[in-house]
Amino acid sequence: MAYDAKAITVLKGLDPVRKRPGMYIGSTGPSGLHHLVYEVVDNSVDEAMAGEATRIDITLLTDGGCRVSDNGRGIPVDDHPDYKGKSAAEVVLTVLHAGGKFGGEGYKVSGGLHGVGVSVVNALSSRLDLEVHRDGGKWVQHYAKGGKPQDKISQVGPSKKRGTTITFWPDATIFEETEFRAQTLLERLREMAFLNKGLEICFRDDRPEPVLEQTFRFAGGLTDFVKHLNATKEPLFKRVAAFEETSETGEVDIAMQWNTGYYEGIHSFANNIATTEGGMHEEGFKKALTNAVNKYGRAKGLIKEKDDNLLGEDIREGLTAIVSVKLRNPQFEGQTKTKLGNTEMRSLVEKATNEKLGDWLEEHPPEAKQIFSKATTAARARLAARQARDLTRRKSALEGAGLPGKLADCSSRDRSECELFIVEGNSAGSSAKDARDPRIQAILPIRGKILNVERARMDKMLKNAEIQALIQAIGAGLAEDFAVDKVRYDKIIVLADADVDGSHIRTLLLTFFFRQMSDLVEQGHVYVAQPPLFSALVGKTKTYLKDEAALDVFLAGNEGRTPVIQRLKGLGEMDFQELWETTMDPGSRTLLQVSVEQAAIADEVCSVLMGENVEARRGFIQQNAKDVRFLDI
């Protein structure tokens, strides 16, 4: 076949989106499906940031569609000057990178990371209906599969309202599943309401009986956000330090409060986009926070003349803070394009924090003393942790390779194919060692339930033998010293029994990875094995079933036949061949990849599940039990 000009294919209109949907929405799984809703909601939030909208309604319809309405200005319906015969609304819905965000005066600031917006939603829908209220009229237009216009936009009557309504039905030929999960959407919508003070976001799910309705509106904005995140922790004091600053460069909005815990939770945003990799605004905040607290401490004699300043990490222990900036042309960098690169925002945030936080500390001396007391204790613990770390390193050096003695390592040195199974208990560890492929699969048995790191400082953590073994086996350090490129295995797989105790062990391990090796989770190296809970024998055919839901389906499909059902008591009671076939064989096993979609939500989930607040934990489990198949951390 000749390779000439005829072999070059040019995708037109919205075809590239349907050809490579992952490039535009990340995936065709649940996260990509929900991303469609966020793209439409982002447009409505832009109207709110422009001061033009005060309310957004999101409705999940019984037929699988999603409707998003706002009371903003309404998408323009007049003809676009560059597209003859097409309205501006049709251009926005059918042309990639079209909208009011690229130059011009449509929006001074806007959300939405890539600017592809609603045209991508249209491309990946089986149907989309547009309704616009503006200029005294109601306008409608309809689109079929793949974003193809079925008619011209037309006025169908008068209207005293204003705003845009978009209703869309995700295309089942594109997505792995098209059923929206209410809880996933509610978490994101609540975050949007926190970030946009006073904006009312109303959610309604028409699918269940009774209908689910929830409204978010936070007059306190980021102050309410911080209180919400700290509700599952124990705040050090009741007050939230909050301040704003506006200049020609942009806007800064910051709120913070300390808790009695040991982890910092700084969550930053730029134009409502979660900047999970941080950036210039976060840098400016951290630098000014350290400076302002130390300056106050010197002035009040809380830090003696001969003593060193407190380090930033000491001051930030137990801090929950939201740093939100809004600017005209955000520059996003980093591996996932969620790191803010605008240097001018570093200066603006630093200046605002230095001045405003300095004033707040002066005005609230009891709280300032509590901050100092906690930071001083953290500094002592940091020195103790350093000694424990050094001791661990020296011990490793004396032992030779620095690997724990109970690790059964794999022979391959190609990290991309190597897997580490973390197995609880000696008998399960023994079965796993016999079952594994020793070339690519390593086994690390751990004894009992590891330390709950949510309730322990670093110095205590490093004295724990099981945690020492984990750190040594993974081989990439810990906390701020963690270097993901030094990890010895591509997959870290938690292998625990399919019962309540096994679930607890998994949660303890996942909390450790999220808190102390966050890059490991964020870059997709952590997995949970899915051992079966039951085996069913029909005739001579044995079937393994993951859980009780799978058992119910199996029984329904084999009604009238004689099933011998056996509940598997634990990994250690499977023979090695059974363990290999059901759980460890790369060709037939099922692994659940652990992901962190939004850091603030993941932080909250860790605190709820592993913190001291029993009521919050019970409420979370009751609310999410039915959606456990979606469970991410």
Three-state SS across 384-440? HHHHHHHHHHHHHHHHCCCCCCCCECCCCCCHHHCEEEEEECHHHHHHHHHHCCCCC
Q: How far is it, in rounded angstroms, from Cα 306 to Cα 418? A: 51
Strand 212-216 and strand 200-205: the pairing is: antiparallel
* Residues 313 and 376: beta-carbon distance below 8 Å: no
79 bridge partner residues? 87
Mind telling me the catalytic residues? 424, 497, 499, 501
Contact yes or no for 281/346 (Cβ under 8 A): yes
DSSP structure class, residue 235 = B
Q: Are 339 and 278 in contact (CB under 8 A)?
A: yes
Residues 93/118, Cβ–Cβ less than 8 Å: yes
Confirm if 406 and 444 have CB atoms less than 8 A apart.
Answer: yes
Nearest alpha carbon to residue 250 among 196, 194, 328: 328
Question: Counting beta carbons within 10 angstroms of the beta carbon of residue 354, is it exposed (0 to 12), middle (13 to 18) or buried (19 or more)?
Answer: middle
- To the nearest 10 degrees (0 to 180), the angle between helices 182-195 and 30-49 is 30
Please tell me the total number of residues recorded for the chain in this structure: 633
State the helix-helix crossing angle for 465-474 and 365-399, rounded to 10 degrees: 70
Of the candidates 362, 325, 379, 373, the one whose C-alpha atom is nearest the C-alpha of residue 241 is 362
For residues 79 and 101, give the distance between their C-alpha atoms in angstroms, rounded to a whole number.
18
Query: Among residues 107, 105, 100, 166, which one has the least CA distance to residue 133?
Result: 166
Please give the torsion angle defined by the CA atoms of residues 459, 462, 467 and 472, in that order, rounded to the nearest 10 degrees. Answer: 150
On the 0-12 / 13-18 / 19+ scale of CB atoms within 10 A, 628 is exposed
